[in-house]
Amino acid sequence: MSNRPMPRGAAAYAAPPAVFIPPAVKSTPVHPAFYLTVAFVFVVYARFPEILDMLTGSVLHMARVLMVLAFVSAVLFGGSMRAVFSKIGIGMLVFTAWMCVCVPFSVWRGGSARAIRDYWILSLFSFVIIAASVQGLDQCRRMMYTLGAATAFIELFTILIGRVQAGRMALLGGTLGNANYLAMMLLMGVPFCLLAVRTKPPVSLLRLVNLLAVLAIPVSVAGTGSRGALVALGLMFLLYFIPLPPSQKLVSAIVALILAVVAITWSARSALDRYKTMFIDSGDVHLTDSERSAIDSSGLRKQLLLSSLELTLQHPLMGVGPGMFAVANADYTQETKGQPSWNAWHETHNTFTQLSCEDGLPGLFFYCVTLLLCFRVSFVLPRRAADNPALSAVGPMALSLRLSLIAFTVTALFTSNAYAYYFPMLAGVCVAFERAVTTELAAAAGGAKPETGPQPPAWTRVRMPRNGNAVARKNGAPR
């Protein structure tokens, strides 16, 4: 392989070498809010209450309890609440405000209010808690490890208690009982498993667990029969594979080929038939029952997509109300066709048309701008840190964020996740990550000190005037 140095721009985007990356700076002192945030993120992302309910039959509201505790701790014990007013935070707040504005114009105001209360509030607080409580580069990395651990937890229970239902791998109930959502959550989390594999010490239990997860997740995703997830998986692999040096490309290609063979062998025939429908003519008379079912499913989804676009054109400004597509679509179908349709009561199966028809085009705009700002963080930060060897961890972390955002964006084209917590959690990590890298770069340039955790009250700090003499503290300290 050539010894010529890689261009600066290419180095910033290239996949990092598989070596242990120590913390760039001295670890930021950890306050209680961070530990509560880690617990909250793991419980929520791993769908721990749902899995516990399936195993024991007990229902616990631990996610909301941890949410309240983590938020109160962030407010009282040094959380950086200013993070809420970052560019990404402002985008989240503006979108939230617009949703509230849309409620009075909803086709069912009470239903829209409940949709915000039951779904979006948890999502918004997920963003605020992560953005405010995670401080410093080391804590950002640990938060990403937590997302990877939660994903490995989901994969473990998929292997242990997952069942093939209607030819598709899924759990027996809850969110993960939907094969499409199971595939999406595994794909969004696997980049953080890969981060642990590439940055933890070679002899590490966490590294071993995440390595097994990285190898097992593509097989499980293939078993779900989710065509959108298959597209996302292929795109993620290409974006990871292309910047690799030739020696790593060979190894990655061999591993990918082996996993593809295992996935084909492991997956049910119905799941493979669903993938075949992406490349065959729907008019073929020799289709199997599972292929015909998959094509019929695509046709029904196309009808829902067209309905969501028609409702967008009819309500371009305020939409039909948050969470009210099914209600509005059922009424619209009844009026236009003169008879009810059971398919009209389904979701849009497209997050972006869900936003446009329920929250109007302004709601779609605010959401997409926030998503683009998150992508910008994952692309810009590696370039800014490329010349600082002490920030070698930034590249792998940004790559993981970028791949996770891609997984969400691609699968969002096939699922309705506008108000779920998946994107707000990633947005919170992006805000914390950007703040940490910016602080370290400013410290390296001599413009600021790294974040050191909770700060003392402002009235106890020593202020240095221009003449260099410290001003006495207000608490009576001598000048």
Do residues 78 and 84 make contact, with C-beta atoms less than 8 angstroms apart? no
Q: Distance (Å, rounded) from C-alpha 52 to C-alpha 48?
A: 6
Please give the single-letter amino acid code of residue 223: G
Say if strands 163-165 and 168-170 run parallel, antiparallel, or are unpaired.
Answer: antiparallel
Signed CA dihedral, 303, 305, 308, 310: sign only = negative
Residue 429 CB contacts under 8 Å (≥ 6 apart), including other chains: 130, 134, 140, 143, 144, 147, 401
Q: Could you give the dihedral angle defined by the CA atoms of residues 153, 159, 163 and 164, in that order, rounded to the nearest 10 degrees?
A: 120
Is 250 strand, coil or helix? helix
Q: Distance (Å, rounded) from C-alpha 144 to C-alpha 210?
A: 12
Do residues 99 and 400 make contact, with C-beta atoms less than 8 angstroms apart? no
Is 298 strand, coil or helix? helix
Q: Give ∠ CA 369-370-371 in degrees, rounded to 5.
A: 90
Q: Distance (Å, rounded) from C-alpha 68 to C-alpha 40?
A: 10
Task: Find tokens 């209600």 and name the residue.
Answer: 327
Our measurement of the distance from residue 78's CA atom to the centroid of its chain's CA atoms, rounded to an integer in Å, reads 25
Q: Distance (Å, rounded) from C-alpha 408 to C-alpha 367?
A: 13
169 DSSP β-pair partners:
164
Helix 394-412 vs helix 179-199: angle between axes, to the nearest 10 degrees?
Answer: 170
Structure tokens at 333: 């179908």
DSSP H helices, 1-47, are 8-13, 32-45
Phi and psi for 164 in degrees, rounded to 5? -85, 115
Q: Distance (Å, rounded) from C-alpha 423 to C-alpha 404?
A: 10
* Furthest-apart CA atoms within the chain: distance in Å: 92
Do residues 362 and 317 make contact, with C-beta atoms less than 8 angstroms apart? yes
**pTM for the predicted model, two decimal places:** 0.85
Q: Distance (Å, rounded) from C-alpha 259 to C-alpha 103?
A: 47
Do residues 360 and 147 make contact, with C-beta atoms less than 8 angstroms apart? no
Per-residue pLDDT of the chain (479 residues; tens, 9 = 90+): 444 444 444 444 444 454 455 544 445 667 788 999 999 999 999 998 888 777 776 666 778 888 888 888 888 876 777 888 899 999 999 999 999 999 999 999 999 999 999 999 989 999 999 999 999 999 999 999 999 999 999 999 999 988 888 788 998 888 888 999 999 999 999 999 999 998 888 888 889 999 999 999 999 999 999 999 999 999 999 999 998 988 889 999 999 999 999 999 988 888 888 888 877 766 665 677 777 777 777 888 888 899 999 999 999 999 999 999 999 999 888 888 777 777 788 889 999 999 999 999 999 999 999 999 999 999 999 999 988 888 989 999 999 999 999 999 999 999 999 999 999 999 999 999 999 999 999 988 875 445 444 444 443 333 434 444 443 344 444 44
Residue 147 pLDDT:
97
Structure tokens at 433: 């990550």
Residue 78 pLDDT:
66
Task: Find tokens 């008019």 and name the residue.
Answer: 283
Q: What is the DSSP string of 163-197?
A: EEETTEEE-SSSGGGSHHHHHHHHHHHHHHHHHHH
Q: Give ∠ CA 297-404-422 in degrees, rounded to 5.
A: 70
Q: Distance (Å, rounded) from C-alpha 95 to C-alpha 92?
A: 5
Q: Distance (Å, rounded) from C-alpha 448 to C-alpha 206?
A: 34
Residue 49 pLDDT:
83
Is 417 strand, coil or helix? coil
Q: Is 479 exposed, middle or buried (0-12, 13-18, 19+ CB in 10 A)?
A: exposed
Mark 260-297 as b/e (b = at least 16 C-beta within 10 Å).
Answer: eeebeeebbebbbbbbebeeeeeeeeebeebbebbbee
Residue 28 pLDDT:
61
Structure tokens at 34: 């961070």
Per-domain residue ranges for the chain? 13-281+289-449
Do residues 38 and 147 make contact, with C-beta atoms less than 8 angstroms apart? no
Between the alpha carbon of residue 371 and those of residues 316, 321, 347, the distances in Å are 21, 21, 22
Q: Distance (Å, rounded) from C-alpha 232 to C-alpha 411?
A: 7
